[in-house]
Amino acid sequence: MFRSASCLIVSLLVFSGLFGNEFNIDRYDIKVDLDSSYNRLVIKATLTINQVRYTNLNFNFSDKYTIDSVSGRTILQVSRVNSRMIALKIIRPAPFVFSIYYHISLDSVITDNKIINLLRSDRWIPCQYDNISKYNIKISVPDSYCVLVTDDPSSRQEVLGNSIYCWKLKHIADLPLIIYKRSMFSQYKVDNNGTEITFHYFTNDEATIQSIMTNVSVSFNYYNQLFGRYPHTSYDFVEIPGCGYALSYEGGALIGSNLIYWYKEHEDIRYWPGHELCHQWIGCGIRFELATGDSLRGFIEEGLTQYLYLKSMGKEFLNKSISQYIEKYNNEIYGSIEDVPVTRDMKSKILYLKGPVIFHSIARSLSEKKFDTFIKKMFNEYNDRIINSKIFFTELKKYHNPGEVILSLISEHHKQLKLLQP
């Protein structure tokens, strides 16, 4: 069984030109092939655009990757193509279709102890997601490999020694691309009221995996009662070698192997399975805008998710955790640099420590029943929709004005404000 590995983490490109209302992409087709040498991904991105406001479009990329070619020259004039930008002039009115061909070079050949691990959609799909109507994704790999993008693909075929996976999606926020050998992982499965939860792991510590799955089952039952039934038929945890992060996507979460080790060794790290599971409703269900620069997006998404996880573990656990969070926040963040050491990850402390405390204060000011009703109504009304913090707090105020003190804490969330026991 595989015990240790390093990730191939590849950073790709982003269209900064999609911010604003220059145009909407009505269809986005992405075709990805793992070439026979296993050391690069060959990608074709085809965009269908029905309406545009301008005749000149610039696509600026965040990293220096060579664009192999651009098609669609009968309707577009490509004035510049380099590793940083494509400049297009529209010759014929929309609608039109054009394709970008590019590749991602991998650090080394895939072996049994390495995987292709592109953490988020902006690492392999060159665009943001807020103004795209639908995605069709097709990924081809040798049949000894598996592909993970989101929950079950719409189709999977075996063609001439290759496996072809297809997805039809409306959103790709935080969508990973994971390619690994079938023989790499073991699986631990549990059935939770008809939903299959699977942990794909290579660690040899099955006792820790069992403990994690027990934790997940408790939170899973609470979320089903709060939001309504989980919207998918299965949920997957996938262990990623040599990393210390967790990342949710529709139908599952990527879990760094370091987190599994820390789960066993450190009690205050044990929140992450239930926290990531909650993102199926807050983050993957109710989605927050990425392109507008909403400063409260992460605060709401992560702070609320962490608070709901604490609630899922029972009142005693919730109250104990809130007290610990307040003490830790005040000791590590509040005050000047001269009298209290300010941690380097202050932003993380604000999201994961201060956020749950503020949402706990809001819940107490509303009453637990009203707060739960508010959360359930938000999910029922905005599930699979993209919202912002203004919509969130407008809906919250329909139930009860949280009060000036709490609102000031929210609006000044980035500052070092002392927290009091709620």
Give me the mean pLDDT over the 259-273 stretch: 79
From 252, 278, 304, the end of a domain falls on 278
DSSP string, 41-80: EEEEEEEEEEEES-SEEEEE-SS---EEEEE-TTTEEEEE
| CATH code for position 321 | 1.10.390.10
Is the model more confident about 301 or about 21? 301
Is 402 found in the same domain as 257?
A: no
Task: Give the pLDDT confidence score for residue 372 in this predicted structure.
Answer: 93
Asked whether residue 57 is assigned to any structural domain, the reply reads: no
Domain that holds residue 397: 286-411
Domain count, the chain: 3
From 260, 278, 296, the end of a domain falls on 278
Q: Are 263 and 269 in contact (CB under 8 A)?
A: yes
Q: Which pLDDT tens digit goes with each residue over 177-192? A: 888 877 778 888 999 8
Asked whether residue 307 is assigned to any structural domain, the reply reads: yes
Could you give the dihedral angle defined by the CA atoms of residues 298, 8, 27 and 296, in that order, rounded to the nearest 10 degrees?
10
Q: What distance in Å separates the CA atoms of residue 117 and residue 401, rounded to the nearest whole number?
A: 44
> Quick check: 164 pLDDT over 60?
yes
| Confidence bin at 19 (pLDDT 50/70/90) | very low
For residue 234 the two structure tokens come to: 């299965």
Asked whether residue 18 is assigned to any structural domain, the reply reads: yes
Q: What distance in Å separates the CA atoms of residue 340 and residue 70, rounded to the nearest whole number?
A: 55
- % of residues, the chain, pLDDT over 70: 70
Q: Are 235 and 197 in contact (CB under 8 A)?
A: yes
> Quick check: 113 pLDDT over 60?
no
Q: What distance in Å separates the CA atoms of residue 269 and residue 113, rounded to the nearest whole number?
A: 26
Is the model more confident about 116 or about 85? 116
Q: Which pLDDT tens digit goes with each residue over 188-206? A: 899 988 889 998 888 778 8
Q: ∠ CA(179), CA(182), CA(187), 5° rounding?
A: 105
Is the model more confident about 192 or about 69? 192
For residue 43 the two structure tokens come to: 């990608």
Is 274 found in the same domain as 229?
A: yes
Give the 3-state secondary structure of residue 114: coil
> For residue 39, what are the CA distances in angstroms to 108, 115, 177?
6, 11, 15
Is the model more confident about 162 or about 222? 222
> Quick check: 417 pLDDT over 60?
no
> Quick check: 83 pLDDT over 60?
no
DSSP string, 309-367: HHHHT-HHHHHHHHHHHHHHHHHHTSS-TTTSPPPTTHHHHIIIIIHHHHHHHHHHHH-
Is 202 found in the same domain as 151?
A: no
Asked whether residue 420 is assigned to any structural domain, the reply reads: no
| CATH code for position 167 | 2.60.40.1730
Is 209 found in the same domain as 196?
A: yes
| Confidence bin at 300 (pLDDT 50/70/90) | confident
For residue 236 the two structure tokens come to: 């997957």
Is 141 found in the same domain as 290?
A: no
H helical segments located in 188-240: 206-227
Q: Are 413 and 350 in contact (CB under 8 A)?
A: yes
Q: What distance in Å separates the CA atoms of residue 132 and residue 28, rounded to the nearest whole number?
A: 7
Q: In what order do the strands lie in the sheet with 145-148?
A: 8-9, 116-118, 177-181, 145-148
Is 380 found in the same domain as 296?
A: yes
Fill in the amino acid letter for 116. Answer: I
From 161, 181, 201, the end of a domain falls on 181
Is 251 found in the same domain as 222?
A: yes
For residue 408 the two structure tokens come to: 């000031």
Mean pLDDT of the chain: 75
Q: Are 70 and 126 in contact (CB under 8 A)?
A: no
Is 274 found in the same domain as 313?
A: no
pTM for this model (two decimals): 0.73
| Confidence bin at 125 (pLDDT 50/70/90) | confident
> Quick check: 250 pLDDT over 60?
yes
Is 260 found in the same domain as 114?
A: no
Asked whether residue 366 is assigned to any structural domain, the reply reads: yes
Is 335 found in the same domain as 362?
A: yes
Q: Which pLDDT tens digit goes with each residue over 341-374? A: 444 456 677 788 888 988 998 888 888 899 999 9
| Confidence bin at 122 (pLDDT 50/70/90) | low
DSSP string, 356-402: HHHHHHHHHHH-HHHHHHHHHHHHHHHTTEEE-HHHHHHHHHTT---
Q: What distance in Å separates the CA atoms of residue 135 and residue 187, rounded to the nearest whole number?
A: 30
Fill in the amino acid letter for 338. Answer: E
Q: Lowest-pLDDT range, 40-54, 66-80, 261-275, 350-364?
A: 66-80
138 phi, psi to nearest 5 deg: -130, 125
Asked whether residue 231 is assigned to any structural domain, the reply reads: yes
Q: Which residues make Cβ contacts (< 8 Å) with residue 260, sequence separation at least 6?
A: 201, 203, 205, 208, 209, 212, 239
Asked whether residue 66 is assigned to any structural domain, the reply reads: no
> For residue 93, what are the CA distances in angstroms to 35, 349, 353?
36, 50, 52
Asked whether residue 417 is assigned to any structural domain, the reply reads: no
Is 117 found in the same domain as 26?
A: yes
Task: Give the pLDDT confidence score for residue 280 in this predicted structure.
Answer: 92
Is 333 found in the same domain as 375?
A: yes
